[in-house]
Amino acid sequence: MTTLSAKRVAPWALLTPFLVVFAIFTAWPLAWSLWLSLHQSYGPGVSTYVGVGNYSSMLADPLFWLSLKNTTLYTLGSVFIQLPLALGLAMLLEMPGLRGRGVIRLVLFSPSLVGVVFAAMLFGIIFEKRTGLLNQLLNGAFGVSLDTPWLSTYILWALILASLWMYVGFNMVYFSAALQNVRRELVEAATVDGAGPVDRFVHVVLPAIRPVASFVVLLSIIGSLQLFELPYLMLDVAGKPNDDGKTLIMYLYTRGFDLGDLGYASAVGWVLGLVLIGVTVVERLIARNEAEGSA
Amino acid sequence: MNRSGALRLVPVYTLLLLAAGLTLLPLLWMVLASFKNNEDFMGSVFVPRDSDGNIALGRFTLEHYRTLGGRENFLRPLINSAFLASVTAIGATLVCAAGGYALAKYNFKGRKLCTGLVLGAMLVPGPLLLAPGYQVLHTVGLLDTFYGLILPALAPAFGVFLFRQAAMVSVPTELIEAARIDGCGEGRTFFTIAMPLLRPMIGTFLMITFLGVWNNFISPQVVLQDSDKFPLSVAVAQLRGTYYQDYGLQMAGTLVSIVPVFLLFLPLQRDFVSGMTSGAVKG
C-alpha cells in the first residue's frame, strides 16, 4: 500500500522543481507580458494603460522597420551564404580517404565555444578602419582602402562575416553527421548507373540529409532573428548613434532598458515571439509532410 | 588509396586547410594583440617590429594582463562566471533529469498535460520573456542578485525534454520494477539506478548549460547593477566602454574569458558534438 502511494506521489515530487520554476519564471512573465504590452511604463514600477498604442506606434516607427529589415537581411545572409558553405565544408570533410579529419573538424568547430559577446569584442576590433585585421589584410592583398567602413556602411556584411566565423563549423558538424548516414552503396549504385556528381548530389545525397538540413535551417533562422550582442557591442560603444545595424532585439533592449518602457519592449517581444513561433510551426509542418510523403 | 585517389584529395586538403587557417587567424591575431602595447598594435599586424622594420619579439609585453589583474581586478568576474556557470549547470541538470525521468518512467494522471507543458514551453522564445522577466524579478526582489540569474535558468524545458528522451531509451522499466520489489524507494531508485544510466546525457547537458551561462551576456547585463557581481561577459563589454582606444587590453580581457572554456571543452569536443547532433540526426 505504501509503495503504491509512493509510486503515485513520486512523479509529482520529481516534477515539482521544474513546475515551480516554470510557473514563476516562464508562465507568470508570459502572462504579464501580454498585460504589459498594453501599457506604457516608466521603469518597473509605474505604468499607464495605452491599449494597442504600443503596437500602433511600433508600426509607425521607422526605426522598427529598419530593425526588422536589418534582421531579415542578416537572417537571409546567414541562411543563404553560411549554410551552403557549411554543407560544402562537410562534404569535403567526409571525402573518403581523408586524413586529419578530426583535427580539421576540431579547428572549424572551436569558434562555436566562443560566446557571442567575446566574438563581438574580437570582431569589433578586427573590423576597425585603419588598424583592423580585415582592412590590413585586404589592403595588403588587393589594395582595398584601409578606410573601408565595415562598422557603418558595410555593417551587415561585417555581421554576416563574423557570424560565419562563429557558426560555420557548428553547422558543418550537423551536416557532416548527416552525411555519415548517407548509404555509400546508394551513391555507388547511382555512379554505376551513370549519374554525374550533380545528379548524385541532388537525387541521392540531398534527400538523405533533408531532415537534418531542415533542422539546421530552423536553428539558423531562429538564432539569426535573435541577433543582439554582435551589433550591440560593435555599434553602440563608440557613443555615436548608429542605426545601420540595429536589430529587433537591440530595438527591444533600447526601448525597455535604456528608456525604461517595459510595456513597449513587451510589445516588441510579442511581435518577435510570434515570428519565431511562426517559423518553428511552419518548419514542423513541412518536416511532417515530408516524413509522410516519403513513408 | 591509389595515386589518382590521393591526387584527387589535393584540392580538398587545400580548401579545408584554407578554412582552418581563416578560422584560426582571428584567434592568433587576438593572442598577439593582447601582448602588444598600443604603439605596436597600431604599427604592426602580427609581430611587433622595431624602427628599422625588423621583427622585435622583445617588444611583447604583459602590461595588459597586469592591468587586468591589478586595476581591473579581473579575478572577480572570472570567479563570478565560474560560480554562476557551475551552480546553474548542476542545478539545471538535477531539475531537468528528475522531471524528464518522471515523464518517461511513471504512468500518472497529468502526465500528458505535463508533457504538453514542456513541449509548449520549448516554443516560448527567450526575447519574449526579457522585459516581463525583469518585471517579475523586480516584484520578487531578486534584481541585482545571483539568485535572479540562477533561479530562472534552472528549468529549461528543452532540458526536461532531452532527459525524457534519454530516460525512455536508456533506463529499462524492468530495472525500476526490480528495484521496487527489492524495497528500494522511489527517490533512491532515481538517484542510484536512473542517474548512472543517464550519465551520457548528464555530461552533455552539464556542458551545454555551463557554456550557455558562461557566454550569456544579455541576462546579467539586464539583471545586475553592482559591478562586483559582473560575470566576464559583462565585465569584458565594460572594458570596451572604458578603454575604447585600448585595443590590446580589450583583447587580453577577451582572451582571458575564452581560454577557460577552451581548456575545459576542447578535450571533450567529441562528446559535445555527438550529444549535440544525436537528437537532430535521429529526429
Over chain B, what HEC string results? CCHHHHHHHHHHHHHHHHHHHHHHHHHHHHHHHHCCCHHHHHHCCCCCECCCCCECHHHCCCHHHHHHHCCCCCHHHHHHHHHHHHHHHHHHHHHHHHHHHHHHHCCCCCHHHHHHHHHHHHHCCHHHHHHHHHHHHHHCCCCCCCHHHHHHHCCCHHHHHHHHHHHHHHCCHHHHHHHHHCCCCHHHHHHHHHHHHCHHHHHHHHHHHHHHHHHCCHHHHHHCCCHHHCCHHHHHHHHHHHCCCCHHHHHHHHHHHHHHHHHHHHHHHHHHHHHHHHHHHHC
Residues in A 4-63 with any Cβ partner in B closer than 8 A: 6-15, 17-19, 21-22, 24-26, 28-30, 32-33, 36, 44-45
User: Which residue of chain A is at minimal alpha-carbon distance from B187?
Assistant: A10
User: For B237, which of A181, A233, A272 is closest by C-beta distance?
Assistant: A233
How far does chain A reach from its first CA to its final CA, in angstroms?
A: 47
Q: At A154, which helix (H) or strand (E)?
A: none
pLDDT of residue A293: 64
User: For A269, which of B9, B127, B233 is closest by C-beta distance?
Assistant: B127
CB A174 within 8 A of CB A88: no
Taking phi over 0 as left and psi of -120 to 50 as alpha, with beta for the rest, B172 belongs to: beta
Share of chain A above pLDDT 90, in %: 55
Q: CB B283 to CB A13 under 8 A?
A: no
**B85-96 confidence digits (pLDDT tens):** 999 999 999 999
**B157-195 confidence digits (pLDDT tens):** 999 999 999 999 999 999 999 999 998 999 999 999 999
Q: Which residues of A touch B19 (CB under 8 A)?
A: 89, 104, 108, 168
CA distance A83 to chain B (A): 15
Distance CA(A121)–CA(A39), nearest Å, equals 36
Phi, psi of A49 (to 5 degrees): -70, 130
Q: Which amino acid is at A191?
A: T
CB A78 within 8 A of CB A160: yes
Q: Which residues of B touch A226 (CB under 8 A)?
A: 125-127
Q: Which domains does chain B have, with CATH numbers?
A: 71-278 (1.10.3720.10)
Closest CA to A271 of A52, A122, A92, A101: A52
Full pLDDT tens readout for chain A, 295 residues: 455 688 889 999 999 999 999 999 999 999 999 999 999 988 777 788 988 999 999 999 999 999 999 999 999 998 999 999 999 999 999 988 888 898 999 999 999 999 999 999 999 999 988 888 999 899 888 988 888 888 888 889 999 999 999 999 999 999 998 998 887 788 888 888 888 888 888 888 888 898 889 889 999 999 999 999 898 888 754 445 567 778 999 999 988 998 889 999 999 999 999 999 999 899 888 888 877 765 4
Residues in B 186-225 with any Cβ partner in A closer than 8 A: 186-187, 190, 211, 214-218, 222
Q: What is the mean predicted confidence (pLDDT) over B200-204?
A: 90
Calculate Rg over the CA atoms of chain B. 24
Q: Which amino acid is at A86?
A: A
Residues in B 49-108 with any Cβ partner in A closer than 8 A: 94-96, 98-99, 101-103, 106, 108
Q: DSSP 3-state helix, strand, coil percentages of chain A (rounded to 5)? A: 75, 5, 20
pLDDT of residue A2: 54
